Each structure stands twice: as C-alpha cells, then as structure tokens.
C-alpha cells in the first residue's frame, strides 16, 4: 500500500492524473466513483482536463459506490444528483453508461444485480474512495462482513451526524442506504483513497496501523495489491 501526503490541491491533482492515465491506457475503462466532499476537487480537475481535450470519457462507463434509501435521483442530496452536478453534466461521458444505485422504487432488485453488472462491464479499473470518520468505506459501517457484496444497510449514528451538515436538519438525513460491499470494492483492479482533515485522522490510523478487522472496515484495503492512500497532514497527524 502506498501513502502520499500533500495538500488537498496536490493530492486531488495526482488522483485525477491516475484516472486520466487509466483512461489513456484503456479508453473503455470502467470507473468507480464516490460522492461526498472528499473527491470534489478531483472531479473539478477531471472536468478541466476533459474540457481542455486532455482526456475523453466517451468510451468509459462508471459505477458509484452508494445511494441513500428514500431519495429520488432528482433530490438535491441524492448521490445521482451529486454526480450529475459535480461531474457527469460537465464531461463527455455517455450518461446511459453511468450507474448509480437506486434509492427508491425497485431499488432492491437493482441492487441485487449490481455486482453482476459491474462484472459484465469488465470490472472496475480504478475506484476512488473517501473514508468515514468511523472507518467506513462506501457505506460499509463497522461490523460489515469482509465478504459483503452490494447490500442495504443502516447508517451509523456518527455517519448520520457527519452527513447532516449537508441537510437542513439532522432529522432529514436518511438512516438507510444501499452500498457496494467490501468484497465488491476489493474486486476493483486499482483503488485510490482520499482523506483530508482532522476528523479523518483516527480512521487513517486504523487503516494504516490498526488490526485488519471488520471493526474497522477500511482496514480490508491492506489485503489489496494496488491501493494508494492520499492524505493531507491533518488526516495523517496520528501516524507521524
């Protein structure tokens, strides 16, 4: 596992570059995207690179990690809305080839086919991850089985609290989500994780130094052959 420490601008640029190189090597690459605050600068860099003609997403398809149960794709806090607004609306990807888990309607049936859809598309070539303050990746909260595939889950109280900053009131934060499982994530060929800020320091310590345990979901990444962790000084502060 490689670790790269730098400020948010620098590590975001490096991650965007990893995506661009993956696409240059394989124009039909399957891209794994995350939502949340952590990847926003990476997406801004990818938009800029696309608009400057340095990369095209025309051949790519994508799969997102997770979605809140109960939110329509048109809801401003849904992850489909987030991806359209922060990436897909501004690049030349074919939106029909972008996949975000459903949070309403027959979402359970869609969820049950998700890993198969990823496999049929050829498997994820590069997956970006954020990390929760409790060590979750996607919405795999502490205690989730390392063998999990895409499933429905209950959000931890700390995750609901962390994410309430994006809602008017904490009571509006959905308590359930659908998420790729830990095994689904481990199936990606290459994984890049970004973490910034003091709030992530404990999780980064658990990821790099703690025991590999289902109590700290991110620790499973230590078993993956191609992971790079991109952190700023604050997220790395308990390691130094």
Interaction site with ligand F6R (CB under 6 A): 34-38, 65-66, 130-132, 136-138
Q: Which is nearer to ligand F6R, 1 or 26 (CB)?
A: 1
Residue number of the CB closest to ligand F6R reads 130
Question: Is 169 marked active-site?
Answer: no
Residues 66-100 as b or e (16 or more Cβ within 10 Å = b): bbbbebebebebbbbbbbbebbbebbebeeebbbb
In the set 45, 67, 125, 141, the catalytic residue is 141
Distance in Å, CB of 200 to ligand F6R, minimum: 7
Q: Which is nearer to ligand F6R, 9 or 51 (CB)?
A: 9
Those residues with Cβ within 8 angstroms of residue 217's Cβ, 6 or more apart along the chain or in another chain: 135, 136, 137, 140, 141, 142, 144, 182
Residues 99 and 89: their CA atoms lie apart, in Å, by 14
Distance in Å, CB of 229 to ligand F6R, minimum: 13
Contact 102, 81 (CB under 8 A): no
In the set 136, 151, 162, 232, the catalytic residue is 136
Question: Is 136 marked active-site?
Answer: yes
Distance in Å, CB of 53 to ligand F6R, minimum: 29
Q: Which is nearer to ligand F6R, 8 or 125 (CB)?
A: 8
Q: Which is nearer to ligand F6R, 136 or 189 (CB)?
A: 136
Q: Which is nearer to ligand F6R, 61 or 127 (CB)?
A: 127
In the set 134, 151, 162, 232, the catalytic residue is 134
Question: Is 232 marked active-site?
Answer: no
In the set 8, 45, 66, 115, the catalytic residue is 66
Question: Is 141 marked active-site?
Answer: yes
Q: Taking each helix axis from N to C terminus, what angle separates 40-51 and 8-25, rounded to the nearest 10 degrees?
A: 50
Distance in Å, CB of 128 to ligand F6R, minimum: 9
Distance in Å, CB of 74 to ligand F6R, minimum: 18
DSSP per residue over 11-71, as a string? HHHHHHHHHHHHHHH-TT-EEEE--SSTTHHHHHHHHHHHHTTS---TT-EEEESEEETT-
Contact 11, 204 (CB under 8 A): no
Residues 191 and 185: their CA atoms lie apart, in Å, by 8
By annotation, the residues acting in catalysis are 66, 134, 136, 141
């Amino acid at each position: 596992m490689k670790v790269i420490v730098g400020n948010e601008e620098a590590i975001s640029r490096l991650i965007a570059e990893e995506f661009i190189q993956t696409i240059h090597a394989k124009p039909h690459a399957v891209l794994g995207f995350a939502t949340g605050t952590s990847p926003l600068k990476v997406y801004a860099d990818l938009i800029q690179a696309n608009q400057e003609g340095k990369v095209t997403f025309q051949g790519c398809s994508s799969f997102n990690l997770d979605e809140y149960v109960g939110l329509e794709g048109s809801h401003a806090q849904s992850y489909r809305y987030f991806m359209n607004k922060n990436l897909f609306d501004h690049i030349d990807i074919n939106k029909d080839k972008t996949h975000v888990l459903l949070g309403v309607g027959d979402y359970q049936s869609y969820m049950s086919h998700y890993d198969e859809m990823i496999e049929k598309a050829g498997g994820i070539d590069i997956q970006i991850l954020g990390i929760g303050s409790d060590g979750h990746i996607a919405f795999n909260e502490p205690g989730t089985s390392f063998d999990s595939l895409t499933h429905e889950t209950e959000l931890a109280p700390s995750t609901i609290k962390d994410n309430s900053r994006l809602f008017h009131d904490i009571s509006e934060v959905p308590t359930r989500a659908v998420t790729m499982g830990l095994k689904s994530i481990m199936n990606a060929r290459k994984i890049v994780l970004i973490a910034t800020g003091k709030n992530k320091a404990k999780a980064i310590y658990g990821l790099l130094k703690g025991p590999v345990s289902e109590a700290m979901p991110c620790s499973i990444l230590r078993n993956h052959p191609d992971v790079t962790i991109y952190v700023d000084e604050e997220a790395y502060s308990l390691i130094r």
